[in-house]
Amino acid sequence: MSRLMPCRKAGCPEYVDGGGLCARHRLEAEAEKENDAISKLYQLRAWQSRRTGLALAVRTRNPICQKLHIEGLRLRRCHNKSDCVHHAHGPRVRPDLFLSVYDEHGKSNLIALCNDCHPRERAETSEWREMAEGDAVPPGESKGEFFVRTQWSVRVA
């Protein structure tokens, strides 16, 4: 049994069963998202096509989650299947990099992650560092976030 909680929108007098937004503010949020230029980028055929989309291509070339977790003094890779593609430089900060696998410095911008490792909110992850599995945790970075380099080259057998 859930309980009535105030609408998440500041100043709204409505109460919602279980929390969240009231019906009016939920509709407003959905309309705002539909008209949001950044949200529209995710609808581009170049991004989401099931045959040729960039998100699919990144996950195909990186089928295992790229997130590195700190275990002891070493970095160990998550071994879950990659479910989604995350932008290291969020499109709200760097929309010019939306369809770029790497940034202008050669750092991976598109990172294949499992759902468990994907940041929950619109977290800015440009501070995540590219490292290799088995590397030592850099001094003073025991709370840092790390990932392995995005593979993009096509292998010829």
Q: 67-71, 117-121, 127-131: which has the minimum mean pLDDT? A: 117-121
Q: State the pLDDT confidence band at 156, using cuts at 50, 70 and 90.
A: low
Please give the average per-residue pLDDT across 124-145, as a whole number. Answer: 88
Q: What's the whole-model pTM score?
A: 0.73
Name the average pLDDT for the chain.
Answer: 88
Instruction: Quote the tokens at residue 138.
Output: 């850099």
Gap between the Cα atoms of 128 and 88, Å rounded: 7
Check residue 8 and give its pLDDT. Answer: 85
List of residues 6+ apart from 32 with CB closer than 8 A: none
Is the pLDDT at 80 greater than 60? The verdict is yes
